[in-house]
Amino acid sequence: MVLMSGDVLDTIGDVLTDSVLLSVVIMVLMSGDALGNVGDVLTGGVLFSEVIMVLMSGAVLDNVGEFLTDCVLLSVVIMVLMSGNVLDNIGDLLTDELLSVVFIVLMSEDVLDNIEDMLTDGVLLSIGIMALMSGDVLDSVGELFNDGLLLSVVIMVLMSGGVLENDRDVLTDGVLLSEVIMELMSGNVLENVEDVLSEGVLLLEVIVILMSGDVLDTVGDVFTDGELLSEVIMVLMSGDVVDTVGDVLTDGMLLSEVIMVLMSGYVLDTFGDVLTDDVLLSVVCMVLMSGEVLDTV
């Protein structure tokens, strides 16, 4: 209030956006043994909640959710933590358990009903990506999906929150996968849902991450696992890319892409293997039959 009366601060929000002032507040609290580490500012649910409440009372934030959706506020917090040697890189915000604390605080304020909302809420996820991009951690929105480390961390966070029981759920959960696809499309990384399957790089990344989590032993498992393949087909169908399950086999482009990816992973030596490999062909038959495309093999 004193600083505001002296025209130093126009609004209470300036206290958080001014790195110098915020750093001083942190230092004072630390000198008084109130905070043992700069990280406590973010990890202490009480302190964090108080900051949010103060900002809201000053009409700076209309909703607690804005704390995360406001790139400026989030960027400043990251910068302050980095200057205090708590974070070595902006990417740590996502890889550090600090993110879990943010989830918990937001959930306690009825902004998020479930940790899963962080990934399924397009706005929150987009803001997170934009904030990381502004810090030169991500060059393109596509890196969120291409970067095995980042995606693995997201999976771990969701699993720790009891949302995902197994790494495979990321691919088998139609809702989660659809959200990821939609986000990538909105970021001009993917022009069409079909690109998820037709773009070798993206598909290979998914395969590699699943393999690293001991879910898939070989690249071939993606095609030979009826459940996984069915999920992919269902997602593509929900996006109006494939009208019927049969289109996956009859669409030359889609089938060619699948073959190319499998070949690049040394699963198939030649195109002929698709028809000559009894195991692969049997799985295709099973999947098509389960989709009522074929009555009998």
pLDDT digits 0-9 by tens, 87-97: 444 445 444 55
- Measured between alpha carbons, how far is residue 171 from residues 22, 138, 140, 164, 242 in Å? 42, 23, 22, 11, 18
Mean pLDDT for the chain?
53
Question: In one letter, which amino acid is 248?
Answer: V
| CA separation for the pair 122, 179 (Å, rounded) | 7
* pLDDT for 135: 46
| CA separation for the pair 163, 155 (Å, rounded) | 9
| CA separation for the pair 166, 179 (Å, rounded) | 18
Residue 25, domain member (yes or no):
yes
Closest by CA position to 197, among listed 232, 146, 246: 232
Question: In one letter, which amino acid is 199?
Answer: E
User: In this structure, how many other beta carbons lie within 10 angstroms of the beta carbon of residue 262?
Assistant: 20
Residue 104, domain member (yes or no):
yes
Could you tell me the residue range of the domain that residue 53 belongs to?
1-136
| CA separation for the pair 286, 226 (Å, rounded) | 7
Yes or no: say if 106 and 48 are a contact pair by the CB < 8 Å rule: no
* pLDDT for 28: 53
Mean pLDDT of 220-229: 61
Residue 91, domain member (yes or no):
yes
* pLDDT for 122: 52
Tell me how many domains the chain contains.
Answer: 1
Residue 169, domain member (yes or no):
no
Is residue 227's pLDDT more than 60? yes
Model confidence, pTM: 0.34
* pLDDT for 293: 47
Residue 88, domain member (yes or no):
yes
* pLDDT for 238: 56
* pLDDT for 14: 53
User: In this structure, how many other beta carbons lie within 10 angstroms of the beta carbon of residue 128?
Assistant: 23
| Max CA pair span of the chain | 83
User: What digits encode the pLDDT tens for the residues 103-121?
Assistant: 555 555 555 555 455 555 5
User: What digits encode the pLDDT tens for the residues 12-50?
Assistant: 455 545 555 555 555 555 555 555 554 555 455 555 555
| CA separation for the pair 270, 128 (Å, rounded) | 42
Percent of the chain with pLDDT over 70: 0
Percent of the chain with pLDDT over 90: 0
Is residue 218's pLDDT more than 60? yes
At 59, the pLDDT band (50, 70, 90 cuts) reads very low
User: What digits encode the pLDDT tens for the residues 260-270?
Assistant: 555 555 555 55
Q: Is 270 helix (H, G, I), strand (E, B) or coil?
A: coil
Is residue 1's pLDDT more than 50? no
Is residue 2's pLDDT more than 50? no
Residue 1, domain member (yes or no):
yes
Residue 51, domain member (yes or no):
yes
* pLDDT for 112: 53
Residue 127, domain member (yes or no):
yes
* pLDDT for 123: 53
